[in-house]
Amino acid sequence: MAAEVAPKLTRKDFVADQEVRWCPGCGDYSILANVQRVMPELGVPRENIVFISGIGCSSRFPYYMDTYGFHTIHGRAPAFATGAKAANPNLSVWVVTGDGDGLSIGGNHLLHTIRRNLDIQILLFNNQVYGLTKGQYSPTSALGMRSKSSPQGSIDHPVDPISYALGCGATFVARTIDVDAKHMQQVLKRAHDHKGTSFIEILQNCPVFNDGIWEDVEDRKTRAKNTLVLEHGEPLVFGSEGERKGILMQDGRPQVIDLADDDDPKERGVVIHDEKLETPSYASALATLTRPDFPLPVGVIREVEKTCYEELLEDQIKEAVDQKGAGDLHALLHSGDTWTVS
Amino acid sequence: MAAEVAPKLTRKDFVADQEVRWCPGCGDYSILANVQRVMPELGVPRENIVFISGIGCSSRFPYYMDTYGFHTIHGRAPAFATGAKAANPNLSVWVVTGDGDGLSIGGNHLLHTIRRNLDIQILLFNNQVYGLTKGQYSPTSALGMRSKSSPQGSIDHPVDPISYALGCGATFVARTIDVDAKHMQQVLKRAHDHKGTSFIEILQNCPVFNDGIWEDVEDRKTRAKNTLVLEHGEPLVFGSEGERKGILMQDGRPQVIDLADDDDPKERGVVIHDEKLETPSYASALATLTRPDFPLPVGVIREVEKTCYEELLEDQIKEAVDQKGAGDLHALLHSGDTWTVS
Amino acid sequence: MSSKTSEPQGPTSGDSDGKTDLKPTTEIDDVAIRFAGDSGDGMQLTGTKFTDETAMAGNDLSTFPDFPAEIRAPAGTMAGVSGFQIHFSSHDIHTPADRVDLLIAFNPAALRANLEDVRSQGMVVINSDAFTQKALTRAGYEEDPREELKTRYALVEIPLTRLNREALQGLSLSQREADRCKNFFALGLLCWLYCRPTEATERWLAGKFKGDVLQANLTTLRAGFAFGETTELFPVHYTIPSAKIEAGTYRNITGNSALAWGILAAGKQLSMPVFLGAYPITPASDVLHEVSRHHEFGIKTFQAEDEMAAVSSTIGAAFAGQLGVTISSGPGFILKQEALGLAVMVELPLVAINVQRAGPATGSPTKTEQGDLLAVLFGRHSQSPVPVLAASTPGDCFHIVLEAFHIATKYMTPVVVLSDGYLANSAEPWKIPDVDSLPRSTVNFAGRETMGADTEFEPYRRDPATLARPWAIPGTPGLEHRIGGLTKEDISGNVVYTAENHQRMVDLRAAKVARIAEDIPPLEVEGPDSGELLVIGWGGTRGAITAAVESAREDGLSVSQAYIRHLNPFPSNLKEVLTSFKHVLCPELNEGQLAMLLRSRFLVDVQSFSKVAGQPFKVQEIRERIDSFLTEKS
Amino acid sequence: MSSKTSEPQGPTSGDSDGKTDLKPTTEIDDVAIRFAGDSGDGMQLTGTKFTDETAMAGNDLSTFPDFPAEIRAPAGTMAGVSGFQIHFSSHDIHTPADRVDLLIAFNPAALRANLEDVRSQGMVVINSDAFTQKALTRAGYEEDPREELKTRYALVEIPLTRLNREALQGLSLSQREADRCKNFFALGLLCWLYCRPTEATERWLAGKFKGDVLQANLTTLRAGFAFGETTELFPVHYTIPSAKIEAGTYRNITGNSALAWGILAAGKQLSMPVFLGAYPITPASDVLHEVSRHHEFGIKTFQAEDEMAAVSSTIGAAFAGQLGVTISSGPGFILKQEALGLAVMVELPLVAINVQRAGPATGSPTKTEQGDLLAVLFGRHSQSPVPVLAASTPGDCFHIVLEAFHIATKYMTPVVVLSDGYLANSAEPWKIPDVDSLPRSTVNFAGRETMGADTEFEPYRRDPATLARPWAIPGTPGLEHRIGGLTKEDISGNVVYTAENHQRMVDLRAAKVARIAEDIPPLEVEGPDSGELLVIGWGGTRGAITAAVESAREDGLSVSQAYIRHLNPFPSNLKEVLTSFKHVLCPELNEGQLAMLLRSRFLVDVQSFSKVAGQPFKVQEIRERIDSFLTEKS
Ligand SMILES: Cc1ncc(C[n+]2csc(CCOP(=O)(O)OP(=O)(O)O)c2C)c(N)n1
Ligand SMILES: Cc1ncc(C[n+]2csc(CCOP(=O)(O)OP(=O)(O)O)c2C)c(N)n1
Ligand code: SF4
Ligand code: SF4
Ligand SMILES: [Mg+2]
Ligand SMILES: [Mg+2]
């Protein structure tokens, strides 16, 4: 664990001297601001923080953070992060990736990093498009999306990042929205506190190539109606006063009911959110709620405990040293059969 | 669709003239025999059948089938299959892969092939080890497995192939066992009948590097107790006479109850298996049942309908031709601004 | 640039709207201009439209777009500047020109980033409205450069923003919307200045926009034209007589469009369905985009999850009997090497295109380089030979794809085609080929009927002429067989590991590729067949080399040039050509890769002239190297 | 093979069990034998044990295991045969020998697959119990070959299966278990035949097995030894005097163990933790296995999901400040090229090992080749230079890893180390180096203290001597900075796309790698410094070349040899060496890759002698090429 001796830092300490090169209005700006705001609150010395990314607009992120940063190659950021974290478990390692970088070319590394459960954070900016290469559909784009490479509409069924992470055995899975500063900061802190790989899907608007896909949950006017804000131990209730609704599960099938403002959701049978369930089937039910019939769940969907790879790796060294003593090169070279010529 | 004019074929028609080069006792032999037995029953002309594999012991499979076959490179078989099927939708395309080939290096192609839902079959032979490279732990190996590359025990949490396939959005997911001939043949037929990507995990014993990991479900004596044979519309009941048990779901948490031989499982609240549920959370609950507390589900876990990639691809061509007429090279070259010099 | 001035004449625009020309025109034979502004200012579009007009005016031309890797880098900064250069002429030209005669800069950053490429006393047109103190600082100017500029250039300050807004008054556009049209004001002005018609642009606008936006663009285009006619700032305007070009119908084409159309044409010319598997990457993606717009050609496009899947799916399609093609750029291409090695082993036809960009690593994705020649030849493990072709002009990209497919299917082999970032985006007038004159060929799949009734199908029994193995596709009764990456036995294709067979197959694969030389035309020398110096090149540097060598020869130097389209195998007379000259110079946008191949193969002291700066050669650079070389050696 | 026979002597086994030698011994100075059987017959183990005994007997030796790619290919077939050859001698030897003096074949397939490598009139020992009609057919024999064999070889038929069973009667083993021990019967017999001690094997058995299995193996081993003593079949046995070898303590080592131990040693010698990221692949996996057994050295081993993750994690670890090393073989290595290109751009130290195997594609994974030299040099897109070293003997694999790490950390660069399938599995006696004499070095991470208080950290400000940039690792306060694959600005490391900077950085990276030549010892010539012919090679062919050249020189030919360990940059005197000879011949297990480099660099007419058959060179092949070459040229 990083020693907590750093003088109190502020957001500014995390702003790098590089000009930010995203398009005007890009959702990445707001994510950057929120990450910079959260950093001082983590109690991690700045020099121990590392941002690692792949390739994409989103993956330019590390250049703008005044921490250690590594802008790597397309799709492989989780593998670079694995090496860095395994090498030095004291580091606070943050992976930034996009829906293309993380889920198209990089899907395999996401799988294996998640299942190994290193104590790192993975932020996947989902704008449902390849921004940097100027607007092709991505693995999260909706069926039928017209883009430069799909002028007649995409014919690929999209993958849902949350379901995918769950299928990979993720111990921490969450979702938040580029423009919802407070919520994002909460989620980022929770991710940092989680011991294990934290996977966060951040819905991000790309005004240039895919404007408005998240509008219903980004717009303050419609957000309450269209999002289900998850809180551990609280009922699955959404909507605003006068239009509250709750979610039941009937034989594993979710269902929306209307709630009067003075209803006790629990009594009405509304499901109580439980992040800690061992079996991921509840989380996977949440993951598949789709609008317009259901609201979009945001917040921490699942958090469970499992051993972390980098700790077990260090343990192996300790165990080996305990059993055999610290490595002795001379002894190694002379192990087994040797003979001496004089 | 392939014309069904072929003369009645037999198992022998599918036996290639190549010497089979697996170790004595390898589970792959039995899988091969069952696949060869099923082929004549599919009603597909032999010349339309294509087996495509990656690299691994399991991936030698195509050499032994007297059909068209392609032994490709490590991990990429689903991508080769995608090209072959997209090019010629008349072909019956079978991918053979291993836990290393399919889930280690090849995890990404599995994800994308599954979500695109081409009408192909993917058979993943899971022996929880890298056989061909002589016994390293694989992504499905249990935590703690001692192998050549993990002499102190593996420290990776394994990925569950079924959960993974579900997280990828699979439309057909099943599991069967190398030595259970009848069951495997049924499952293979179901997979072939399914329109879309069928993913089948086949539990396979590697007597050389990982002997006996599936023994409790392979051994006829213990199989009934340790497997839950799934049948659509039937209750989740397992065990044999005098020791029947059923599975309930309480708040999304599975639970085993004892059943008297004359109990009506339905009345006792035992879950009725439903392959067709739209939300995959039930299937994902099944996927995570682990022994010894629960039996291992075998059979078709999920089968739902979605459009197939190769059909939509053909439709795009039809649509384009309908709208613009068949491509005219002269017209294309002269489209837009041209000028004539004389 | 020679010029002759004449009195005001009639309308030069194709419009017969009765406008009369109010100012004298000067005839010149060669001009290069550059548009420069923010990434958001529409410079690429403006340049393209001017290019179309220029082409219609009958000039020879060459263009060079140069833009940042960011989608829309920060407004007003050097990093965000996007440029488009066009060189047009009444005679044959080969490059977008080393220096421009006119720069139009939309803001201070655009001025600062491009100024050094303006010829001395060239014209610099700026949008004076954009020269605020803040903008100057953002561009990195410590003081206003305008005064100083006047000493070295003909500076023309135009309040572009204001003039455009005024022109659009009365239309119901927001100011922001109106401002977005100002590039068309500039375009109108330049069309007047160089007596270009505006017809094609107006037609294009009408097809693209409607209502107020259409009206605004048309209005400001015409306002710009009118402004030229009336302002005191431009005393003359210029005509550039049309070039003497071969008769025919022409169009502008970029390398990427030509590749895309070549792919579509291949399906027609070989009468087979085409499968394109690709993963987007700059600067290759536009090929995927363009092909995707033309499914009516029966082509299937597959946007894969990554490059490994792109090439693997393509090989899968080839296995299933289609014309497979995959396209990428350097970083993506090298991810395909393992699968291409498999294609070499299983001997399936396939075309793999690499539109090279500047590296190493992610490098400078929108910049050009010729850095991948050795990588495509030798980047697979073990001995894994493939034929390699390189396109040399945008239009050549069309024909080269056809040729590649011809070789691939005739010899049953993957073929690599090289293009580069410069060719990809540059445009040139292209004589549209007569479709009937394009090469055709037929692919013969193996069939049961060609074999005796009881014979086993032998997937590696070769055609003695080409050494090609048969292409037997799934769906063919009786030819069921297995292929794969393990060492294949000669003829039977079974898996064997014996030493003799291994060697034999290595030799056969090498011999097959070498044999392709028989189909390759001899290398042509431009200029005398022998002499002091041969300048040899390949790929997109052809234009610059040609221009430099021609100028040197005009100055009486003994210099010829040759350019290699077929990089593996080489044309059979290559040795003869090389040894007919006292010296050989090889300019490349890499550290001497072709030079290395030539030296090792022929033991000729080929001298490399290397530039790896993300930019094409300037003609002058090559010319100077020729001069200094001849001086050193004599 | 020279010999001298003497009368029966005392015990030759180290055991002082009072056995006396009943038969005459013949002294010979050089023998090669081969064990051959099914993959399941334990040939590799038997060979290894015989090797250990031979080493203890003080002979120089060289081994060559050759086995199928399948885990346990079908019993009794040619495809399933596994062989182990050992060459041992009382003098210095360099190769496992071209032909064997004795073959012991456990079944007809083993006989058929190996017979052609037995020298004329050599001894062929067979397990006669295995020569059933069925087995003969399975091996592909149409008739029993034994009669015919006798005319050409000294055939010795032994009922091995039966003798072994009989020896083990009384122990409670199943017949199958008993049969599994028969390789130890054979081992005992051969130990008797060549007067080897059996001590080490007995010790090894005692450590490995217990109870009846231990007993059985010991019993049959001794029974085999005794059988030799008593049977009529072997009238004499042989002693091979110990070789005159440099004083020191020795052990047998294979190339793969040496690589693994080199990796462990690197951590010690540079006093830094090591991180090994790898994905299993034949023939490189054993390095991962061996290192994984030694976590007590503080090394972290990471079995990645694929090669991209293997190299990426390793670069990540290097970024975090560890000694990163990644290992693979050809097909896996080329998947790492993109990430290695990034390592070149970000200039982080790293060692990437490629244990080459026979290709192309999946090829013949257990066979050897030197096919990847050009791929490791040029297989990344664009200009992406890395230093390349190649090991030439199994023991050299240890030292080369140390050297690679030294270069990597001193110059801040990824370094490629080449080994091959032959070196990987072959064993040789290796003089164990004195740990204190191994090179040490210290890595200096950048620290805030080395900078002025207000200065910005400049990640690309280079050490003027080495051109290395500083290694500033996360966790260091005040040095926070960003690196990545986009073109870097000199000194600041910021992202820029200007032409001058691009060129400067390309030049700097090239200059840095070129500068490593200053640390490289000059190329040594074995034999006269000048003359008729220089035979030049690299990597695992060194032994065969040495043997061939020595024999040629013994026969009075003017031949010298040199071998290149440093393939990039080359030793600085290389040109001088090459030009001191009239002719240069370059034998390689590829199609002339080093030859190509030498020809292009030095314009010297280096002649390639190429073999690509999945097998090492035979000494005789090279010798014949030398002879024919000198005849042709004279
Ligand atoms: C090996 C390789 N292939 C392809 C590319 C081109 N490329 C760069 S970013 C990108 C997609 C980025 O999409 P996403 O991750 O969604 O990022 P966004 O730009 O939308 O933030 C692609 C295809 C590359 N740089 N490297
Ligand atoms: C690019 C590449 N990397 C690594 C390998 C080595 N390799 C071959 S098969 C294999 C693992 C196979 O495991 P699995 O798929 O489980 O097959 P099994 O042998 O167990 O049936 C590996 C690592 C390879 N052939 N190619
Ligand atoms: S292209 Fe889209 S994602 Fe990329 S910077 Fe611009 S707005 Fe943001
Ligand atoms: S190693 Fe295992 S999986 Fe491979 S053939 Fe042998 S028994 Fe089967
Ligand atoms: Mg995106
Ligand atoms: Mg396996």
| Count of CB pairs separated by less than 8 Å, B with C | 217
The ligand with the least distance to the CA atom of B210 is 4
**Which pLDDT score, from 0 to 100, does residue C13 have?**
41
Q: Which of residues 418-447 of D touch A (CB under 8 A)?
A: 432-433, 435
pLDDT at C250 over 70: yes
CA of B22 to the centre of ligand 4 (A): 6
> What mean pLDDT is predicted for residues C108-112?
96
Cβ of A164 within 8 Å of Cβ of B163? The answer is no
Among C356-360, D120-124, D230-234, the range scoring the smallest mean pLDDT is D230-234
pLDDT at C50 over 80: yes
CA-based nearest residue to C392, from C549, C565, C527: C565
pLDDT at B5 over 60: no
Q: Which residues of D touch C591 (CB under 8 A)?
A: 383, 506, 510
**Which pLDDT score, from 0 to 100, does residue D50 have?**
95
pLDDT digits (tens, 9 = 90+) for C516-533: 999 999 999 999 999 999
Q: Which residues of B touch C294 (CB under 8 A)?
A: 320, 327, 332
Q: Where are the domains of chain B?
A: 11-234+273-310, 236-272
Q: CA C18 to CA A288: how far, in whole Å?
A: 67
Q: Which residue has the higher pLDDT, C39 or D193?
A: D193
Q: pLDDT band at C39, cuts 50/70/90? A: confident
Residues of chain C with CATH 3.40.920.10: 3-239
B55 lines ligand 4 (CB under 6 A): no
Cβ of C74 within 8 Å of Cβ of A21? The answer is yes
| D-chain residue closest to A330, CA distance | D435
Cβ of C379 within 8 Å of Cβ of D375? The answer is yes
Residue A298 in contact with residue A236, Cβ under 8 Å? no
Q: What is the mean pLDDT of chain C?
A: 93
Report residues of chain A scoring pLDDT below 70: 1-7
**Predicted ipTM of the assembly:** 0.95
Pairing state between β C427-431 and C388-390: unpaired
CA-based nearest residue to C319, from C327, C311, C330: C311
Percent of chain D at pLDDT above 90?
Answer: 87
Cβ of D300 within 8 Å of Cβ of A86? The answer is yes
**Which pLDDT score, from 0 to 100, does residue D20 have?**
57
Chains near D (3 or more Cβ pairs under 8 Å) = A, B, C
Residues of chain C with CATH 3.40.50.920: 525-633
**Which pLDDT score, from 0 to 100, does residue A288 have?**
87
From the candidate CATH numbers 3.40.50.1220, 3.40.50.970, 3.20.20.70, 1.10.260.40, the one assigned to the domain spanning B11-234+273-310: 3.40.50.970
Chains near A (3 or more Cβ pairs under 8 Å) = B, C, D
Which helix (H) or strand (E) is D411 found in, with range? Answer: helix D396-411
In ligand 3, the atom with minimum distance to the C-alpha of A56 is 4
Q: CA A26 to CA A127: how far, in whole Å?
A: 10
State the CB neighbour count (10 A cutoff) for residue A314: 16
CA-based nearest residue to D285, from D303, D299, D298: D303
Considering only the beta carbons, identify the residue of A45, A85, A336 that sits closest to D477: A45
Q: pLDDT band at C232, cuts 50/70/90? A: confident
Cβ of A208 within 8 Å of Cβ of C70? The answer is no
A16 touches chain D (CB under 8 A): yes
Q: Which residue has the higher pLDDT, C57 or A53?
A: A53
C296 touches chain A (CB under 8 A): no
**Which pLDDT score, from 0 to 100, does residue C67 have?**
84
Q: Which residues of D touch C345 (CB under 8 A)?
A: 360-363
Chains near C (3 or more Cβ pairs under 8 Å) = A, B, D
**Which pLDDT score, from 0 to 100, does residue B210 have?**
98
Contacts of B193 (CB under 8 A, 6+ apart): none
Q: What is the mean pLDDT of chain D?
A: 93
CA of B133 to the centre of ligand 2 (A): 6
Buried-exposed string C358-382: b where 16+ CB fall within 10 A, e elsewhere: bbbbbbbbbbbbbbbbbbbbbbbbb
From the candidate CATH numbers 3.40.50.970, 2.120.10.30, 3.40.50.2300, 3.90.50.10, the one assigned to the domain spanning C251-437: 3.40.50.970
Cα radius of gyration rounded to whole Å, chain A = 23
Q: Is the backbone peptide bond immediately before B280 cis, with ω within 30 degrees of 0?
A: no
C307 touches chain A (CB under 8 A): yes
Six-digit token pair at B216?
């409790």
CA of C334 to the centre of ligand 2 (A): 21
CB-side neighbour CA atoms (13 Å) of A101: 31
**Which pLDDT score, from 0 to 100, does residue D365 have?**
95
Six-digit token pair at B342?
């004389």
From the candidate CATH numbers 3.30.470.10, 3.40.50.920, 3.90.550.10, 3.40.50.850, the one assigned to the domain spanning D525-633: 3.40.50.920
Considering only the beta carbons, identify the residue of B20, B149, B156 that sits closest to D289: B149
Which helix (H) or strand (E) is D87 found in, with range? Answer: strand D81-89
At A63, the amino acid letter reads Y
pLDDT at B3 over 90: no
The ligand with the least distance to the CA atom of A97 is 1
Helices A309-324 and A77-87 pack at an angle, to 10 degrees, of 40
Considering only the beta carbons, identify the residue of A55, A57, A139 that sits closest to C305: A139
Q: Which of residues 81-140 of C touch D (CB under 8 A)?
A: none
Cβ of A339 within 8 Å of Cβ of D298? The answer is no
To the nearest whole Å, the CA of C59 is away from the closest chain D CA by 30
CA-based nearest residue to B135, from B124, B156, B151, B123: B151
> What mean pLDDT is predicted for residues B188-206?
98
Residues of chain C with CATH 3.40.50.970: 251-437
pLDDT at C265 over 70: yes
pLDDT digits (tens, 9 = 90+) for D235-246: 899 999 999 889
Residues with CB under 6 A from ligand 2: B 55-58, 74, 98-101, 125, 127, 129-133, 138; D 279-281, 307, 331-332, 335, 362
Q: Which residues of D touch B151 (CB under 8 A)?
A: 289, 292-293
Considering only the beta carbons, identify the residue of B130, B150, B208 that sits closest to D72: B208
Considering only the beta carbons, identify the residue of A21, A149, A150 that sits closest to C70: A21
CA-based nearest residue to D279, from A117, B112, B106: B106
Considering only the beta carbons, identify the residue of C282, C292, C362 that sits closest to A149: C292
Q: Which residues of A touch B166 (CB under 8 A)?
A: 163, 167, 284
Among C293-302, D67-76, D169-178, D567-576, the range scoring the smallest mean pLDDT is D67-76
Q: Which residue has the higher pLDDT, D65 or B84?
A: B84
B331 touches chain C (CB under 8 A): no
pLDDT digits (tens, 9 = 90+) for B49-60: 999 999 999 999
CA-based nearest residue to C359, from C331, C381, C340: C331
Residues with CB under 6 A from ligand 1: A 55-58, 74, 98-101, 125, 127, 129-133, 138; C 279-281, 307, 331-332, 335
> What mean pLDDT is predicted for residues C256-273?
98
Ion ligand 5 neighbours, Cβ < 5 Å: A 98-100, 127
In ligand 3, the atom with minimum distance to the C-alpha of A27 is 8
B202 lines ligand 4 (CB under 6 A): no
Q: Whose C-alpha lies nearest to ligand 4, atom 1?
A: B131
Q: CA D102 to CA C358: how far, in whole Å?
A: 59
pLDDT at D571 over 70: yes
CA of C572 to the centre of ligand 4 (A): 50
CA C558 vs. chain centroid, Å, equals: 30
Cβ of B139 within 8 Å of Cβ of D361? The answer is no
pLDDT at B181 over 90: yes
Q: pLDDT band at C70, cuts 50/70/90? A: confident
Q: pLDDT band at C255, cuts 50/70/90? A: very high
CATH architecture of C3-239: 3-Layer(aba) Sandwich (3.40)
